[in-house]
Amino acid sequence: MKLFRNAFIAILLFAALGRAEDLERFKRLSEDMICTCSCQQALYECRMPACGFRPGMQAEVRQMMDDGKSDEQIRAAFVAKYGPTVLIVPGTHGFDITAWIMPFAALIIGALAVVFVVYKWRTQPVVAHGSGPVDTTLHDRVEEELKKFTPED
């Protein structure tokens, strides 16, 4: 009797675990895709009142999960049906990879530039302090003023 009871509990636990796994998978998949209702949110997160797209799309995900399709197959089926814009982030192949690379490439190039600037500043003394080229009018005026104050011999 005890064995039956334990087996029953184990089956229930497995069922619950399976359901939790299914929910987790459903959440993950519908977070990877965008709702086509123009809310610009993940299919899982779309809360547009009376959204005409979310229930149907979510049902499609569940149906494909029940049919035993893999995550990749489900994503591919959605891309085939709704186009590549259904995926919430760019892929990692073709031109899409630049979406991911460029920000970090810019950061690295910027960091190298900063290091270069600091190095250059440290090794090359600054030529002149303060001003740039002297404005000629101003220069003449300063010369004129100076003449006035030059002590006569």
Partner 1 sequence: MVQVGQFALALAFVVTAYAIVASLVGIRLKNDKLIDSGKRAAIGTFICITVAIACLGYLFVQSDFSVAYVAGHSNKALPIYFKIASIWGGQEGSLLFWGWLLTLYSALVVVQNWKKHSSLMPYVIATLMGTSLFFTAMHLFVVNPFKLSGVALPDGSTNLFTPVEGSGLNPLLQDPLMVIHPPMLYLGFVGFVVPFAFAMAALLTKQLGDTWIRTTRRWTMIAWFFLGTGILLGGNWAYHELGWGGFWAWDPVENASLMPWLIGTAFLHSVMVQEKKGMLKVWNMVLVTLAYIMALVGTWLTRSGIVNSVHAFAASPIGGYFLAFIIVGLSASLYLITDRLPYLKSDNEMQSVVSRESSFLFNNLILLASCFAVFWGTLFPVISEAAPKWLGGGERVTVGPPYFNRVNVPIAIFLMFLTGVGPLLAWRKASTNSLKRNFLIPAITAIALGIVLLFYPGLKPWPIGGGEFYAWLAVMMATFVAVTIVREFYKGARARSYGSGENFFEAVTNLTLRNTRRYGGYIIHFGFVLLFIGWSGQAFKVDVPGIEAGIGETFSVRNYIFRVDDLKVDEDPNYTAQVATVSLFENRKKVAILYPEQRHYKAGEQQSTSEVALRSTAKEDVYLVFQGGNSDGSKAIFQLYLNPLTAWVWFGGVVLGLGTLIAMLPNKKTTPRRPAAARRVEEGKEIEVVS
Closer Cβ to partner 1, 3 or 128, answer by number: 128
66, 128, 148, 153: which one binds partner 1 (CB under 8 A): 128
- Establish how many alpha carbons lie within 13 A of residue 150's alpha carbon, considering only the half-sphere containing its beta carbon: 8
- In angstroms, rounded to a whole number, what is the distance separating the alpha carbons of residues 24 and 98? 30
Take residue 53 and report the two structure tokens written for it.
Answer: 């797209």
- In angstroms, rounded to a whole number, what is the distance separating the alpha carbons of residues 58 and 83? 17
Closer Cβ to partner 1, 11 or 102, answer by number: 102
CB of residue 35 to partner 1, shortest distance in Å: 10
CB of residue 2 to partner 1, shortest distance in Å: 32
Site string for partner 1, 62-101 (x = CB under 8 A): ---------------------xxxxxxxxx-xxxx--xx-
CB of residue 80 to partner 1, shortest distance in Å: 13
Q: Is 136 in the site for partner 1 (CB under 8 A)?
A: no
Q: DSSP readout, 49-60? A: TT-SSHHHHHHH
Report whether 44 contacts 61 (CB < 8 A): no
DSSP letter (8 states) at residue 151? P
Report whether 27 contacts 44 (CB < 8 A): yes
What is the binding site for partner 1 (CB under 8 A)? 31, 34, 38-42, 45-47, 49-50, 83-91, 93-96, 99-100, 102-104, 106-107, 110-111, 114-115, 117-118, 121-122, 124-133, 135
